[in-house]
Amino acid sequence: MQLVKLKIIVMMLFVSLSSFISLHKYYVSVTDIEYAKETKSLQIISRLFVDDFEKVLQERYVDTLSLDDNSADFYIEKYFGKKLMVSINNELQQFNFIGKEIDGDMVHCYFEVENISNIQSINVTNKLLFGTYESQQNITHLKINGKKKSFLFIKDKSSGLLKL
């Protein structure tokens, strides 16, 4: 898997250094945000490509950072705090980082917002990996009290609102 992506990255970087940005690779992340009634919490799982995410964290924080390492958790939390924003009933929420797991070439990051009840509206801003990857798309699925809504966020449109 890494192999193929590398081949594609090869071309992407090669072309970008020759003064154009190429869109060969599919830059995408998927975030599921679901409300769990029984725990009164918002459960968030974000899935990102390991190599893309690692590169962004290395550029921003530590050159040698590796997502295999638990020391990366601090930076994951920090980065998400800036790039993924969730407001419930117009109030910005703080979320807890539960952990991450690597599955093939994807890293799954888990967050939770506790003590949530009576959601009337939820606003999500998802800017993960924008900027570094011009064509980055962040698919975001919301599932709140049986109501479903999906967003495809791009650089120019990175937030969406679901009213219940």
Name which position in 132, 141, 159, 164 contacts other proteins (CB under 8 A).
132
49, 6 contact by CB (below 8 A):
no
Q: How far apart are CA 77 and CA 67, in angstroms?
A: 12
- Cβ 118 to other proteins, closest distance in Å? 21
Among candidates 55, 46, 51, 52, which has minimal Cα distance to 139? 46
Of these, 74, 117, 125, 139, which contacts other proteins (CB under 8 A)?
A: 139
Residue 125 CB, nearest approach to other proteins (Å):
14
Q: Whose Cβ is closer to other proteins: residue 25's or residue 80's?
A: 25
**Which residue number, 3 or 120, has a Cβ lying nearer to other proteins?**
3
Taking alpha carbons only, the member of 85, 93, 99, 100 closest to residue 114 is 93
* Nearest residue to 44 (alpha-carbon basis) of 108, 120, 88: 108
Span 65-104, contacts to other proteins by CB under 8 A:
66, 68-69, 98-99, 101-102, 104
Asked whether position 4 contacts other proteins by CB under 8 A, the answer is yes
